[in-house]
A and B are shown apart, each in its own frame.
Chain A
């Protein structure tokens, strides 16, 4: 009896969490505070896209903080033809060749 109740609760909880993970928006953080301790975490930043490099299967953006001089590389595995300017970016923190970058999942121009 208790096993069934626990199993139903667990499965229901996982489904609810899957739905919640699509609804919840990550807190916006400063580019300067992003570090290797956040690898694989989903974050949001607001910054100024200062350069866009179009490669075969991706776009590489350089994003500068609005509050200080910190910059970060944002990689987008989609061809969305992003333009320069202020945008909010949601994605996961990754490490590539020793440097921190963000693998973007969503970019919204402000």
Chain B
């Protein structure tokens, strides 16, 4: 009975995660909160463990499917915003599918790394947690400086980092729903879409080609992703976005293919480690992990083992489903005029912003789009626009705040 419930929870979680992954602006936290609110009713029919399995399956599936709208439609979520630039370049070469596939392979590698390293985290994290927290501001400042040094237009990059950082600080302090949505959509999504429309970008016919990176690169991005994800997933206020910045420093100037794999690794690894944090340091580190810990109430090792097994099963099915959905999307965008698609997505994102975050959200969207366009026209890497999340977090971790 329990086993069948758990399998059912995995399947439903994958469908829920696929839905939230395909729809920019609909976060898994929203679905998880709905689940928590209806938990009294659901617990009459399902065990708490089954509901927790649903949540983690949804989170894992979401991290896979998320890359489809990001790469193919320039419509990101917070974890995938950085994939837009390299993904868009692949799209312009007729290889959008290859970009999505690389990201999803990265996601799967992230789950494998999660399974292998969880026992180590369980032992090491309780000792290292406070120690890492003390040095986190320094690590983040060092990562940002390293990125700036690599830039040709250093002053421009620093200016954009600070501008996006100030916008991030103002936005995250605003009492509106989902402030991250208009912020990251504007910086990474709509700015790209507006530029594509202005330049009347035509995407070539998309081929269902595949590409790969060398084994050495796989090892390199895996280690970089593991290092950055382990720092960011256990500390409050940090997530995939900050992990991506740190990882790209550790990885050095990597190819776009490696970067897409790296983003995929970080996406699932941070998601999974947020749950491991419940058991390692008794601190859930994401909205969905908070909901899972509330439903489970007690932390038991056998729960964690089942959640990890569910993660692998979810990842395997999500990979198959994700590649299938990507092929469908590729066929659709190949048949329709890209400018028309871009305009439709732009309008849809504006409407969604208004409904999710109100008028203030529209102001944030316009402002962040302007900053994103500034970065594109100055030829400065959009990585520096991660200042919108890095600067608030650096200030948060400063000891003399």
Interface on chain A toward B: helix, strand, loop, or mixed SS?
helix
Contacts of B284 in A (CB 8 A): 36-37
Contact at A6–B377, with CB atoms within 8 Å? yes
Question: What chain A residues lie within 8 Å of B374 (beta carbons)?
Answer: 3, 6-7, 10
Contacts of A25 in B (CB 8 A): 175
Give bound CA distance, A2 to B173, whole Å.
29
B367's contact among A13, A36, A41, A43, by CB below 8 Å, is which? A13
* Total count of chain B residues near the partner, CB < 8 A: 33
Q: In this assembly, does A108 line the interface, its C-beta being within 8 Å of a C-beta of chain B?
A: no
Q: A55 an interface residue at 8 Å Cβ cutoff?
A: no
Contact between B290 and A36 (Cβ–Cβ < 8 Å)? yes
Residue of B nearest to A21 (CB): B174
Shortest CB-to-CB span from A68 to chain B, Å, is 13
Question: In chain B between 231 and 270, which residues have their CB closer than 8 angstroms to a CB of chain A?
Answer: 236-237
B378: chain A residues at CB < 8 Å are 3
Determine whether B341 belongs to the interface, using a CB cutoff of 8 Å to chain A: no
Q: Check if A14 sits within 8 Å of B167, measured CB to CB.
A: yes
Chain A, interface residues (CB within 8 Å), range: 20 to 34
Whether A10 and B367, one on each chain, are in contact in the complex, defined by CB atoms closer than 8 angstroms, is: yes
The reply to whether B396 and A17 form a contact with Cβ atoms under 8 Å apart is no
Cα A25 to Cα B378 with chains together (Å): 37
Residues in A whose Cβ lies below 8 Å from that of B396: 40
Which one, B41-49, B314-322, B358-366, is touching chain A? B358-366
Q: What's the least CB distance linking A22 to chain B, in Å?
A: 10
Q: By the criterion CB–CB under 8 Å, are B370 and A20 in contact?
A: no
B152 within 8 A of A: no
A1-41 vs B, CB cutoff 8 Å, 1 = contact: the mask equals 01101110110111011101100111100000001110111
Given contacts A35-B294, A40-B396, contact A9 B367 (CB under 8 A): yes
Interchain nearest-CB distance for B196 vs A (Å): 14
**In the assembly, what is the distance between CA of A17 and CA of B371, in Å?**
14
Given A9-B370, A14-B367, A20-B363; A40-B172 close (CB under 8 Å): yes
Residues of A participating in the B interface, judged by any CB pair closer than 8 Å = 2-3, 5-7, 9-10, 12-14, 16-18, 20-21, 24-27, 35-37, 39-44, 95, 98
Query: Which B residues form the contact surface with A (CB < 8 A)?
Result: 29, 163, 166-167, 170-176, 236-237, 282-284, 286-287, 290, 294, 360, 363-364, 366-368, 370-371, 373-374, 377-378, 396
